[in-house]
Structure 1
Amino acid sequence: MPRSLLAVLALLAALPVAAGQLTLSRVEITEWKAVYGQVETRDRVPARARIGGTLVELRVTEGDRVEAGQEIALVEDDKLSFRLRAIDAQLRALDTQLETATTDLDRGAALRERGVITQQRLDQLRTRVAELEGQIESTRAERRVVEQQVAEGAVLSPDTGVVLSVPISLGSVITPGETVAEIGGGGVFLRLAIPERHATTLTEGDEITLGAGSGMDGQTGRLAKVYPQIEGGRVVADVEVDGLDGRFVGRRVPVRLPVGTRAALLVPPDAVLRAGGLDFVAVAGEGGAVRRAVVPGGIVRHDGAEWREILSGLSAGDTVVTGDE
Structure 2
Amino acid sequence: MYKTLLLSLFLAGPVMAQSFEVTTTLVADHKAVFATVESVDLLTARTRIGGTIVDLLVDEGDMVAAGDVLALVVNEQMAPQIASATSQAVAVQAELAQSREDLERAIDLFARGIIAQARLDQAQTAVAVLEGRLASANQSRDVLVQQEREGEVLAPGAGRVLDVQSPKGSVMLPGEPVAVIASDDYLLRLNLPERHARTIAKGDEIAVAGAALGGDVASTGVIRQVYPQISNGRVVADAVVEGLGSFFVGERVRVHVTVDTREVIVIPRNYVTTRFGNDFVTLETEEGRRDIVVLLGDETAAGVEALSGLSVGDMLVQP
Q: Normalising to structure 1: TM-score of the pair? A: 0.87
Matched, 1:320 2:316: yes
| CA root-mean-square deviation | 2.1
Secondary structure class of the residue paired with 1:201: coil
Shift in Å, 1:277: 4.3
How far the C-alpha of 1:199 sits from its partner, in A, is: 0.9
Match of 2:8 in 1: none
Partner of 2:54: 56
1-structure distance, mates of 2:27, 2:197: 19
Q: What SS does the corresponding residue of 1:265 show, helix, strand or coil?
A: strand
Residue number in structure 2 paired with 1:207:
205
Question: Helix, strand or coil: the match of 2:185?
Answer: strand
Match of 1:101 in 2: 99
Match for residue 44 of structure 1?
Answer: 42
What's the counterpart of residue 264 of structure 2? 264
Residues 213 and 253, structure 1, Cα contact 8 Å, conserved in 2? no
Moved segments of 4+, more than 4 Å: none
1:278 matches 2:274: no
**C-alpha displacement of 1:288:** 4.9
Q: Give the whole-Å Cα distance in 1 for the aligned partners of 2:246 and 2:210.
A: 18
Residue type of the alignment partner of 1:94: V
Please give the alpha-carbon distance, in whole angstroms, between the structure 2 residues aligned to 1:160 and 1:82: 35
Structure 2 counterpart of 1:187, one-letter code: D
Instruction: Give 1:308's match in structure 2, choosing from 304, 307, 317.
Output: 304
Q: 1:223 to 1:271 in 2, by over 3 A?
A: same
Task: Determine the structure 2 residue equivalent to 1:248.
Answer: 248
Paired-residue identity, %? 42
Query: What aligned pairs does 1:5-84 form with structure 2 within 5 A after superposition?
Result: 19-84=17-82
Deviations 1:185-227 (A, max 9, x none): 1410011111111111111111111136543698111111111
Separation in 1, partners of 2:205, 2:160 = 28
Could you give the per-residue CA deviations for residues 82-117 of structure 1, whole angstroms, max 9, x where no partner exists?
Answer: 111111111111111111111222222222233333
Aligned to 2:139: 141
Q: 2: distance between equivalents of 1:69 and 1:181?
A: 13
Letter in 2 for 1:225: Q
User: Which residue is 1:235 aligned to?
Assistant: 235
* Alpha carbons 2:218, 2:241 under 8 Å: kept: no
Alpha carbons of 1:212 and 1:125: their partners in 2 closer, same or farther (altered >3 Å)? closer
Separation (CA, whole Å) in 2 of partners of 1:272 and 1:211: 30
Partner amino acid for 2:272? V
Contact 1:39 1:246 in 2 (8 A): no
1:129 corresponds to which letter in structure 2?
Answer: V
One-letter code of the match for 2:310?
Answer: L
Q: Which runs of 5+ in 2 are unaligned?
A: 1-15
* CA apart distance, 1:267: 2.0
Range 145-154 or range 113-122, more displaced: 113-122
Judging changes above 3 Å, is the alpha-carbon distance between structure 1 residues 212 and 152 closer, same or farther for their aligned structure 2 residues?
A: closer
For residue 319 of structure 1, report the CA deviation from its aligned partner: 2.4
**More displaced 10-residue stretch of structure 1: 183-192 or 24-33:** 183-192
Alignment partners' CA distance in 2, 1:231 and 1:283: 52
What secondary structure sits across from 1:200 in the alignment?
coil
Q: Distance in 2 between matches of 1:174 and 1:163?
A: 19
Aligned pair in 2 of structure 1 residues 214, 284: CA closer, same or farther (>3 Å)? farther
Q: Which moved more, 1:247-256 or 1:74-83?
A: 74-83
| 1:223 maps to amino acid | I
In 1: Cα distance, 2:246 partner to 2:175 partner: 28
Residue 170 (structure 2) aligned to one of 156, 172, 177: 172
**Distance of aligned partners of 1:316 and 1:214 in 2 relative to their CA distance in 1, 3 Å threshold:** farther
Structure 1 pair 146–288 and aligned structure 2 pair: CA distance change class (3 A): same
Instruction: List gaps (5 residues or longer) in structure 1.
Output: 1-17
